[in-house]
Chains A and B, each alone.
Chain A
Amino acid sequence: MMAGSQWELPPELCCRPMAFVALTGLDVVYNAVHRAIWDAFCANRRADRVPISFKVLPGDHEYPKCRTKRTSYEWYIPKGILKTGWMNKHLNLVPALVVLFYELDWDDPQWKEKQSECATKVEIVRTSLQGRNTKVAVVLIQKKTPLPPGEDLVASERASALCNACDLSGKSLFVLPHTDHLVGYIIRLENAFYEHAQTYYYTEIRRVKSHKEFLNKTTHQLLFVRHQFKIAFFSELKQDTQNALKYYRTAYSLVHELRAHETNMLEIKTMAGFINYKICRLCFQHNTPLDAIAQFRKHIDLCKKKIGSAELAFEHAAWMSKQFQSFGELFDEAIKLGLTAIQTQNPGFYYQQAACYSQDRKQLAQQLCQVIAHLSVPTTLTPVNEILHSATATASKRRERHQLFVSPSAPNNHMTVENGDYLTCVWREMSATEVKHDFFIVVFAGIDPPDAEKEKTGILSLQIKERDVPHSELIIALLSNAVAQFKKYKCPRMKSHLMVQMGEEYYHAKDYTKALKLLDYVMCDYRTERWWALLTSILTTALRCAYLMASVKDYTIYCMELLGRASTLKEEQKSKIEKNLIKVLMNEVPDPEPECDPSSVSAARSLWSDRMALAGSNELTIEVQDYIPFIQCKAKFQSPSFHVDQPIQLQVFLRADCPHPFNFNKLAVSLSNQEYNQWCVVESAQDSMTLVPGKTRCYSFSFVAKTEDVGKKIEMTGIEVMLGSDAGRCVFLSWRGAGGDAASTHEALQASRSSRRWGRGLEARQELDWDSLSLQHSTMIISRVPKISVQLSHQPPALTNEMFCISLTVQSQEENVAKEVKLTAGLKPGQDANLGQTTHVTLDGSKVCDDSSPALLPDVPLGDLKPGEKLERRVYVRCVSTGPRVFLFHVAYSIDTTVEGRHIVCKCHKDETVTIETVVPFEVSVKFVSTKFEPLDRVAVDIPFLLMTDVLSSSPWPLMLNSSSLQLLTMTSNTPQLQSQLHEVVLQTGECASECFCLRCPAQTSSSSTVATGQYLISWRRQCSGADGPLIQTTVTLPHVILESVPLYIHADLPSFGRVRESLPVRYHIENRTGLVQEVEMAVEPSDAFMFSGLKQVRLRILPGSEQQMLYNYYPLMAGYQTLPQLNISLPRCPTSNTNTLRRFLPQRIFVKPQGRQLDDASIAAA
């Protein structure tokens, strides 16, 4: 028997009503054909099939008898709203249609006999259904496939004969050939059945509606409800849900119009609950969830106050709980079918409320059923038994008349005549409603005068029954349903709250393990959200559980937190807890927690004494970091770093929040290097180990770090405080890191914001402000401070490629000898990787170092350094590329020293860094010009040209150029011996040195038109570096030139000047540079400044490689710079060649001196 099943909704209410069709004449056990037909009807019914519930019944099945129809309601007084079995009757007992299956082919040889047998069977069914509107139909099972209608004359004739014989309409006769397409036929058949069923329910609705005119409002109130309910239910069977909803709504409002009394209250509520269930269900089905919710709210508001009998108030709570639960289930089901719920409107709220009412029920039951606890069973049994007999008698009488509505689950509870169960079960059978109906009859019908004794016994027995209900189980089930819902709809706090309730309920149900598990789970949520009042309440319950289970560890933890600052308990409660905690530490049994069940307390006591008697296992470690224990701990290193020659100092602060001073026996700090742990322990039984509430105690430790730990971090890994002693029980409170607990971060934050820090005077500061104490959980051990000086001198910037000299002076200020002084010099690591490739460091400054020199010279030994001694070194740096570089000079040494009487060898070092910019010493620019000093963009083959170089100093220091030279690749020098023009030239900043070389480029075999020129080499040094400084060779790659070949080379021999009216002979040489004979046309254009003699226009041929000369005598007419007569040359054979290029080779102008005076010679002579 499921607890509380009395309040379960009956299954026929919760199911979906479907038309009921009875199939007879099928032998599904022995006849394979019949079996197949039945399977086709009922197996694998998909949603698209018509909603019919089929049942196979024997042909002579007795259907429920139909009561004779009442012709008048005048003297009829209804005794209840609805009869118990009514819904079940119409769902499962009274069919809408009875179908008779009969095997008969149209051409059956014994047609006549079979026809009459069939008629008889129909008659039997009809008789059984006397007075009902149930339809009858006949299905002929035939072996042959029927012919199309109208073609089989025998068939139609015999069909009409059969209809006549059976008194059937043609629409009620069907033929089912059992051939291949059985399922198809069956579907067609059941559609036809469905139509018949619809008609049946329609007539039923009409029939019920027709009663209305006979009713009057005074005596037939109940019938109004009953009829509306029936119409609605038939509409549902007819699958007309819209109308069903309408009628249910009417029925619902009529239910609340009924005259309500204490005696029929339960019946009204039960009925209202049923109708409400139907309405909500249909609303969800019609996808109008808001209507469903509104209806439910209305329902609850209407029924909330209808408590009924005060002695049975728990029944009302149970009923309310059930209302909420079933609505929650309906809601949940709708969600599974696709409805979306929201955070503030989800099934969880209904489950929660259901749980809430179940809790009320439990409380009411505890209050109301307290009395019977004192009554002994035998005394109650006799009177109850007596009454039972009469009560069951009346009840059975009523049931015969089917006038009462009883919860259908009740008849299932058969009497089990066994000791105590007897009483409860019999009362169970006629419980609640039936007992009520006795009263109902008294009030309304005046039958059976009220029997006060009977009533009292009835109530008593119900109370006894209620006492045995496992309330907690029901509440927990509902709560866990709600938890699941709230989890889904993002309500973490609601979920936690419900879990607390679950935990408390488990506590009441004495399942302490589960209670603790739940409470422990949610505690941390309340702790992190800092809801201390709630946390305290949960902890209090948890403490009781732990006490009752005699769980030492849990008990200790909860005690510690309840004593702590997060607890909102009063001082006296805390004192009590503290006393208990001390008892546990002394291995004694603690006093019981208040408000515990006395029987559990005695059980717990013996559990505790067992626990205490148990030897060993009296050490307990508790990680308190995640709690808020009553002992607070904070620790810090005095400084974030210590030099290795200083003692490391750390402080541990402890503070107790309990009401009375508390002793502890040991304090130990664990550090990341465990070798130091031995220095950080205090252990004794002095009074310094007593924590006075509200006072901060400080414990200081100091130790000397090991020299190997230089550069390492020392961290506190944990702090342990030991409470109790070996004599009793040792509890180790352990903090990770440097202490602090679940609440201290927030407190520190608040303290940092606080204005008190600034506002208070000095006298207030003497007391340490606990909250603003900050943790320092690690410290760095760093090397001893060096007592030497390192100085650098140099002349920046560095010039590219030079051997840049940096001189380093180290002076010792140590009091002892600095041993093993070592220098590491060079590029500071961690810069651009390319710098490593382009920087070279050496100690040897006599020659230019090569690329094999490293960028950083490590550990150059410098020997020992006596106190006050000075040492100097030069370091040369060669930077191949420009840009800034950071150089590091690291001087390391070791020295003996003493710390707190301990002798240690310290390694010290001093770093010096310098940033040096590297710049180019000078810039070299190169240009090509023709022999006429005209800039050339291309160079002609085998024709001399000039290369000019400019060296522009950009160094801030004077440069001495030693020499320069050309390294030519393809070109040849036009001058036999190239000599540097820059030898020993000193350039100041911004000064420029130029040089000029005459070159000629021979013809190239390769086809490319550009030619590499070669390199320009300059060797130089800083002037200040002196004559012995190494020379630096700087190589400048000369640009490529574009080479062009000219077919014709022409050049002129002419004097350097002419004189007016004196003959000026000019000889043009024309060379053919091609391998072909060239035909050349030459013409001299007339000029105003010259007369000339010679061939004005000539056409000549020049053989390959040979030369032709043309001689002209020019006769200048004007003085000054004059343009020579223009010589036009064209090559008719290769018209593409540009004569302008040719003209480039020729002199354009000549200086003509004025005519000398003849007389002058004489005058000179005269002079």
Chain B
Amino acid sequence: MAVCIAVIAKENYPLYIRSVPTQNELKFHYTVHTSLDVVEEKISAVGKSLGDQRELYLGLLYPTEDYKVYGYVTNSKVKFVIVVDSSNTSLRDNEIRSMFRKLHNSFTDVMCNPFHNPGDPIQSKAFDGIVSGMMVQTG
């Protein structure tokens, strides 16, 4: 289960960040922000080779001592980042993928809301619920 889930706009500002409340929230902000370096690099590397048939899942972005950071980029360059505790070895690549897919589906629903202005922070209860389901349950 994730300790932090973030949605980042095409222009690299956060649309949504949620982390487990027990830990330092700021640290996760920094972790997600720095992971964008790798995301950008991966996107630009893909852009050079194949245009349309791109794999959205970017895989493990970089491992830190304490966390593993995974990335996913939609076709409209919106990024999803999931941070997982390093000690959590039970999570397989496939499960991370399916988490991202779920996240993407929910995000698409948010975008389909005619009252949502793309580019504004996400304030959807449904999306919140999906994210909560993927987060480490505390307490």
Contact = CB atoms under 8 A, between A and B. Distances in A.
A759 B117 CA distance: 12
A685 interface: no
Interface centre among B17, B36, B37 (most CB of A within 10 A): B37
B81 interface: no
A530 B13 contact: yes
B119 A493 contact: no
Given A344-B61, A353-B65, A533-B29, A491 B34 contact: yes
Interface string B24-55: 01100110011011100100000000000000
A551 to B, nearest CB: 25
A595 interface: no
Nearest to A490: B41
A534 B37 contact: no
A494 interface: yes
Given A531-B14, A534-B33, A537-B26, A754 B41 contact: no
A356 B14 CA distance: 25
A753 interface: yes
B35 to A, nearest CB: 8
Interface centre among B14, B30, B119 (most CB of A within 10 A): B30
Nearest to B37: A491
Given A537-B26, A750-B119, A497 B65 contact: no
A166 B30 CA distance: 74
A750 B117 contact: yes
Q: Is the interface of B mostly helix, strand, loop or mixed?
A: mixed
A335 interface: no
Contact of B120 (A343, A492, A750): A750
Contacts of A533: 14, 17, 25-26, 29
A755 B116 CA distance: 8
Interface in B99-117: 114-115, 117
Given A343-B38, A750-B117, A497 B62 contact: no
A493 B13 contact: no
B46 to A, nearest CB: 14
A926 to B, nearest CB: 66
B133 interface: no
Contacts of B36: 493
Contacts, number: 65
B12 interface: yes
A601 B95 CA distance: 52
Nearest to A757: B117
Contacts of B114: 755
Contact of A749 (B41, B62, B119): B119
Given A497-B34, A749-B119, A754-B117, A534 B26 contact: yes
Nearest to B12: A529
Nearest to B39: A493
Contacts of B65: 300, 353, 356
A344 B33 contact: no
Contact of B37 (A300, A490, A749): A490
B61 to A, nearest CB: 7
Contacts of A755: 114-115, 117
B34 A493 contact: yes
Contacts of A537: 26
Contacts of A759: 115
A537 B26 CA distance: 8
A531 B37 contact: no
A750 B118 CA distance: 8
Nearest to A501: B30
Contacts of B120: 750, 754
A460 B12 CA distance: 50
A756 B34 CA distance: 34
A693 B115 CA distance: 26
Contact of A531 (B13, B38, B62, B119): B13
Contacts of B14: 530-531, 533
Contact of B29 (A353, A494, A534, A753): A534
Contacts of A343: 37-38, 41
Contacts of A749: 119
Interface residues of A, number: 27
| Chain B interface category by residue count | 20 to 34
Given A497-B30, A531-B13, A537-B26, A753 B119 contact: yes
Interface centre among A491, A493, A500, A530 (most CB of B within 10 A): A493
Nearest to B114: A755
A755 B13 CA distance: 21
Contacts of A753: 117-119
A86 B102 CA distance: 60
Nearest to A759: B115
Interface string B1-35: 00000000001111001000000011001100110
Contacts of B41: 343, 490
Contacts of A492: 37
B29 A344 contact: no
A754 B115 CA distance: 8
A500 B64 CA distance: 18
Nearest to B32: A531
Contacts of A300: 65
B119 to A, nearest CB: 5
A298 to B, nearest CB: 14
Contacts of A530: 11-14
A344 B115 contact: no
Contacts of A344: 38, 61-62
Contacts of A500: 30
Nearest to A304: B65
B37 A493 contact: yes
Given A356-B65, A537-B26, A494 B34 contact: yes
A493 B38 CA distance: 10
Interface centre among A344, A492, A749, A759 (most CB of B within 10 A): A344
A344 B62 CA distance: 6
Interface centre among A356, A531, A537 (most CB of B within 10 A): A531
B103 to A, nearest CB: 20
B33 A531 contact: yes
A491 to B, nearest CB: 4
Interface centre among A300, A754, A756 (most CB of B within 10 A): A754
B43 to A, nearest CB: 13
A104 to B, nearest CB: 66
A543 to B, nearest CB: 16
A749 B34 CA distance: 26
A491 B41 CA distance: 9
B54 to A, nearest CB: 19
A331 to B, nearest CB: 15
Interface string A466-500: 00000000000000000000000011111001001
Interface string A93-125: 000000000000000000000000000000000
A755 B120 CA distance: 12
A749 B13 CA distance: 14
Interface in A712-767: 746, 749-750, 753-756, 759
A529 B115 contact: no
Contacts of A356: 65
A330 to B, nearest CB: 18
A759 to B, nearest CB: 8
A349 B38 CA distance: 13
Interface string A497-521: 1001000000000000000000000
B48 to A, nearest CB: 15
Given A490-B41, A494-B37, A534 B30 contact: yes
A353 B17 CA distance: 24
A746 B37 CA distance: 22
7 closest A-B pairs by beta carbon, nearest first, are A530-B13, A491-B37, A494-B34, A754-B117, A344-B62, A493-B34, A493-B37
Given A497-B33, A755-B117, 6 more contacts: A343-B37, A493-B33, A529-B12, A530-B12, A530-B14, A753-B119
5 contacts: A349-B62, A491-B38, A530-B11, A533-B14, A533-B25
Interface of A: 300, 343-344, 349, 353, 356, 490-494, 497, 500, 529-531, 533-534, 537, 746, 749-750, 753-756, 759
